[in-house]
Structure 1
Amino acid sequence: MKILITGKTGQLGHALQKRLQNMGEVIALDRSQMDLADLDQVRSVIRTIEPDLIINPAAYTAVDKAENELALAMRINGEAPGVMAQEAKRLGAAIIHYSTDYVFDGSKGSPYTEDDATGSLNAYGRSKLAGEQAVRESGASHLILRTSWIYGEHGNNFLKTVLRLAQARDELRIVADQHGAPTCSSSIADATACAIATLGSPSGLATAGDAWTDAWKQHSGLYHLTAQGETTWYGFAKAILDHPSTSRKPPVVPITTQDYPLPAARPAYSVLSSARFIKTFCALPDWHDALTLCLDGMAKDHNQ
């Protein structure tokens, strides 16, 4: 199986490369090799590689900048996934595309299911929702995986920010009224590998008229994919600093969203129910356990 992964330098793209390297021929590309803002290039690269499976973790992720760069965010997050899915359909390939908890407005107050109505509060969320719709409408066999609060050893993320600020400041002021599920990039990669293994390798279209396996056809659709449990950004920061490997532990002060105004509104509650994914494929660990494993790994790498 030939697997094309976009965004190889991102935290999720990096984790996917490591996890999927034994599941087939992995071809991972960065923006210089396939720029999602250039839709013609996206088509051309996919037609040249002819993958059996396209995995798209690449995205425009600057949530606040998206408020003023909606056209660019829409092209990268909305249109490009649709082009990838169209090419997957043409090739007889499948596509796995990642989306976000920010497609919801946060007013529900209990974990969102895949059947709940969407209503993003920001441009970023609207662009990601457009990508979901484009993939779904392509007719390609697909998994759309909504996740949340991604962090990991690689790339820029909340975990890295907290560790950096802990070394530089005597106090951390962290938002305590936004609820979600911190999800480690390696956990997402593991769950993605589980889904691929469950469904089997895409059949490909050697000649027009070949069919997908029944498993891919039957299970195509939208799934929520996050760590178990929930917390706030404040709780997340506290857990990071509580880990034994964190050398400097300044006090963490809870603040409100209003105390830390940003251009893009965030949902107050964006916890996702992963029951459908768990029933179909496998479960992700509790967020506390995944965080401990991540920090243990970072400490081990640092000490080597």
Structure 2
Amino acid sequence: MTVLLFGGNGQLGRELQRALAPLGTVVSTTRSGVLPDGSTCEVADFSAPGSLAALLDRVRPDVVVNAAAYTAVDRAEDERDAAWHANAEAPGVIARWCAAAAVPLVHYSTDYVFDGQGTSPYREDDATAPLGVYGASKLAGEEAVRAAGGRHLIFRTAWVYASHSANFLRTMLRVGSERDVLRVVADQVGTPTPAALIADVTVQVLQHPGQLSGTWHLTASGQTSWHGFAEAIFAEALATGVLAKVPTVEAIASSEYPTPAQRPAWSVLDNRRLQRDFGLVLPTWQDGLERVMAELIPAKR
């Protein structure tokens, strides 16, 4: 089996390279043609969506996994075209090729398709209402994948992090080692979700005997605020010796940390359908944090 992986250099893409390997040959792509370890790979330029069909024709994959995206949420407000090319138009090109070739497509979306005004976990069929360009472009990508008519698995996820790449956990560990006090937003609530969990679940779903097609919410279980996540990161870092001392974490409101793009205040996604349809048990976000932090311990010693 040949799996074509778009976005091999992102934090999810790096985990997918590992998780997908047992399925067969993984052909990874990046915009530069270079992977994080310095090795070369296929080039896929999502700023030019029309160029992707030629790559698909040449590789002729049995499965396509699209982990590539424009994720600069704030910059997207000024770079609408770039976000739309990568998040809406490119997935459409890929999905139409997959539909014509009868190749299953895995595509990842986001909690940003919702407006964050909810009070209970969002279900897959709840009304979408993105607050900014990033969320709107990701929603358009979902719609393009569905409209293509092929077998597709859209996984909405949220608050993704890993022991590598650029993410909230690594930022907290870096600034926490430099400062005595940090101020972190406490009125945005969601579910921290390890990239490794998303990758592993993706492979489990692809190996599932049923040939289901649709949209599912793929996050860890439970919920917390960014402030709560930061406090948990530092508690775990101190317990494992990743940090010798940790800062005080002060809770602030989103209004005290203004950003060009508005963030959803409520980003908790209901993952029960995913667990039911594929016989999965998704871990708590606390368990996920412990596993990711354990990966950082050898690097500290």
TM norm. shorter chain > 0.5: yes
Q: Report which structure shows greater RCO (CA 8 Å, sep ≥6).
A: 1
Distance 1:257 1:297 in 2: 31
Partner deviation per Cα, 1:26-53 (whole Å, 9 max, x = no partner): 1111112101111122111111101111
Matches within 5 A, 1:68-217: 68-199=78-209, 215-216=210-211
Query: C-alpha root-mean-square deviation of aligned residues, in Å?
Result: 0.9
- Check if 1:272 corresponds to 2:265: no
2:21 matched to which residue of 1?
Answer: 21
* TM-aligned CA deviation for residue 137 of structure 1: 0.3
* TM-aligned CA deviation for residue 187 of structure 1: 0.6
- Which one-letter code corresponds to 2:265 in the other structure? A
- Which one-letter code corresponds to 1:234 in the other structure? H
SS in 2 for 1:198: coil
Distance 2:244 2:224 in 1: 23
1:207 matched to which residue of 2?
Answer: none
Distance 1:162 1:153 in 2: 12
Distance 1:89 1:183 in 2: 30
- What is the total number of aligned residue pairs between the two structures? 286
Partner deviation per Cα, 1:153-200 (whole Å, 9 max, x = no partner): 12100001000101111211000000000000001111111101114x
Are the equivalent residues in 2 in contact too, given 1:191–1:283 (CA < 8 A)? no
2:5 matched to which residue of 1?
Answer: 5
Distance 1:301 1:193 in 2: 28
The runs of at least 4 aligned residues of structure 1 exceeding 2 Å deviation read: 245-248, 300-303
Match for residue 252 of structure 1 among 249, 252, 272: 249
Partner deviation per Cα, 1:225-283 (whole Å, 9 max, x = no partner): 00000000000000000012332301000000000000000111010000110001213
1:296 matched to which residue of 2?
Answer: 294
2:38 matched to which residue of 1?
Answer: none
Distance 2:17 2:285 in 1: 22
Distance 1:34 1:61 in 2: 16
- Check if 1:39 corresponds to 2:49: yes
Are the equivalent residues in 2 in contact too, given 1:277–1:283 (CA < 8 A)? no
Distance 1:7 1:38 in 2: 14
Are the equivalent residues in 2 in contact too, given 1:227–1:287 (CA < 8 A)? yes
Distance 1:84 1:100 in 2: 18
- Check if 1:220 corresponds to 2:226: no
SS in 2 for 1:29: strand
Are the equivalent residues in 1 in contact too, given 2:50–2:90 (CA < 8 A)? no
2:37 matched to which residue of 1?
Answer: none
- Which one-letter code corresponds to 1:84 in the other structure? I
Distance 1:230 1:249 in 2: 23
Are the equivalent residues in 2 in contact too, given 1:240–1:246 (CA < 8 A)? no
Are the equivalent residues in 2 in contact too, given 1:78–1:130 (CA < 8 A)? yes
Partner deviation per Cα, 1:43-95 (whole Å, 9 max, x = no partner): 11111101111101110000000001111101100010011011111222110
- Check if 1:235 corresponds to 2:228: yes
**Structure 1 residue runs without a partner (length 5+):** 200-214
Are the equivalent residues in 2 in contact too, given 1:179–1:269 (CA < 8 A)? yes
Distance 1:90 1:156 in 2: 36
1:63 matched to which residue of 2?
Answer: 73
State percent identity of aligned pairs: 45
Distance 1:196 1:302 in 2: 35
- Which one-letter code corresponds to 1:150 in the other structure? V
2:36 matched to which residue of 1?
Answer: none
